[in-house]
Amino acid sequence: MIIENTVEGVKRQVKAWKSEGLSIGLVPTMGYLHEGHKSLIDRAVSENDRVVVSVFVNPIQFAPTEDLESYPRDFDADCRLCEDAKASLVFHPDADEMYDGDFSTFVDMDNVTKELCGKSRPTHFRGVCTVVNKLFNIAMPDRAYFGQKDAQQLAVIRRMVRDLNMNVEIVGCPIIREADGLAKSSRNTYLSDEERKAALVLSKAIFKGKEMLESGISDGEEVLEQMKEIILSSPLAKIDYVEMVKWDSIEIHHTVDCPVLVAIAVYIGRTRLIDNFIFEV
Ligand code: AMP
C-alpha cells in the first residue's frame, strides 16, 4: 500500500493506473477510522481495481468554534486498517498541501444545504463540497463512496455531481452501528462512560421513528414528537434538530408520501452526534 502526502504524487499514481485501464474508487475520510469507514473501503475494494482512501481533517469545513484542533487522529492505526482492507493508496496531505496561502475558490450550494446540519453549521457544506471537488480532481475516481451516516452530505455530494456534470458515480453505504445501536463515529471517543450510555437515546429514537413509519403512520409531526420525547428522557441530551425532510432535496416535509429522511442532531454533553434513517414509501 502506498502512503502519499502530496497532490502531485497521487496524480502521478492515478494517471499510471488509468493508463493501464484500471478503475479507481475513492473513499474520503477525516481519519480515526472505524468499522463504518471500513465498510466503505470494503465496498470500494470489491467494485474497483484500485482504491484511494484520503485521510484529511479538512479545516475549511469546521467553524472557528468547532472541534478542528481536538478532532481525534491516529494515522498509524488508520494505515493498518487501510492495509488490512486492501486499499491501494492512502492520501494524507497536510492543510498547506491542500490550501495555498492565497486559496480563493470555493464550491457552494443553495437549497440542499439550507436545513439540518447546514442550518446549525452554515459554512460546513461549502467546506465539504470544496474539499470533495478537490479530491475528485486529484484522485480522478470512477466511483466515490460516502456513508448514509452523514445523509445530508450524501445528498449534497450527489447534487453537486449532478449539477456540475462530474464524471464520478456516487455510492451511498449503510450506517454501521455498535452492538447496542449507537452509530459508529470518530466523535464517540469524546464521550465519558456516562455520556456513552446517554448517547443511546439517539439510536432508540431512530429505531422508534422507523418502526412508526413502518407500521403505516404517515404523520411526520407525530413521529418527530415521539422521537423528541425519547431523546429528552436523558438529562444529558440537548436537541439541535429532529426533522423529517424529502430525501433528495432536503426540504422540510412532514407527510410520508415520498422518500423521506428522518435526521437528528443531539448534543450529549458537549459532543454533537448525528443519526438518521431513510424511509421509502
Ligand atoms: P468522516 O471520517 O467522519 O468524515 O467519515 C468519512 C466517511 O465515512 C463519510 O462518508 C461518512 O458518512 C462515513 N461514515 C462514518 N461513520 C460511518 C458509519 N457509522 N457507517 C457508515 N459510514 C460511516
Q: What is the DSSP string of the chain?
A: -EEE--HHHHHHHHHHHHHTT--EEEEEE-SS--HHHHHHHHHHHHH-SEEEEEE---GGGS-TTSSTTTS---HHHHHHHHHHTT-SEEE---HHHHS-TT-------SSTTSSHHHHHSTTHHHHHHHHHHHHHHHH--SEEEEEGGGHHHHHHHHHHHHHTT-S-EEEEEPPPB-TTSPBP-GGGGG--HHHHHHTHHHHHHHHHHHHHHHTT--BHHHHHHHHHHHHHTSTTEEEEEEEEEETTT--B--B-SS-EEEEEEEEETTEEEEEEEEE--
Among 206, 239, 248, which Cα is nearest to 223's? 206
- 256 Cβ inside 6 Å of ligand 1: no
- Look at the block and give the residue holding cell 432536503: 250
Q: Residue 219 C-alpha to ligand 1 middle, in angstroms? A: 30
- Are β-strands 24-29 and 143-147 bridged in parallel, bridged antiparallel, or unpaired? parallel
Is the Cβ atom of 124 under 6 angstroms away from ligand 1?
Answer: no
| Residue 254 known to be catalytic | no
Pocket flag, ligand 1, residue 150 (CB < 6 Å): yes
Question: What is the structure's pLDDT at 281?
Answer: 87
Instruction: Output the pTM of the full model.
Output: 0.98
Place of cell 472557528: 64
Report the residue among 33, 61, 150 best suited for mutation to probe ligand 1: largest number of ligand atoms under 8 A from its CB: 150
> Within the chain, what is the greatest distance between any pair of CA atoms?
58
List the pLDDT tens digit at each of the 281 positions of the chain: 999 999 999 999 999 999 999 999 999 999 999 999 999 999 999 999 999 999 999 999 999 999 999 999 999 999 999 999 999 999 999 999 999 999 999 999 999 999 999 999 999 999 999 999 999 999 999 999 999 999 999 999 999 999 999 999 999 999 999 999 999 999 999 999 999 999 999 999 999 999 999 999 999 999 999 999 999 999 999 999 999 999 999 999 999 999 999 999 999 999 999 999 999 98
Which residue has its alpha carbon closest to ligand 1 atom 7?
29
Q: How far is CA 221 from CA 89, 213, 227, 245, 265, in A?
A: 46, 12, 10, 12, 17
| 271-279 and 260-268 beta bridge pairing | antiparallel
Q: 34, 37, 124, 253: which one is catalytic?
A: 37
Chain length of the chain: 281
Nearest-atom number in ligand 1 for the CA of 184 is: 19
Closest to 4 measured CA to CA, from 129, 186, 139: 139
Ligand 1 and 43: CB distance under 6 A = no
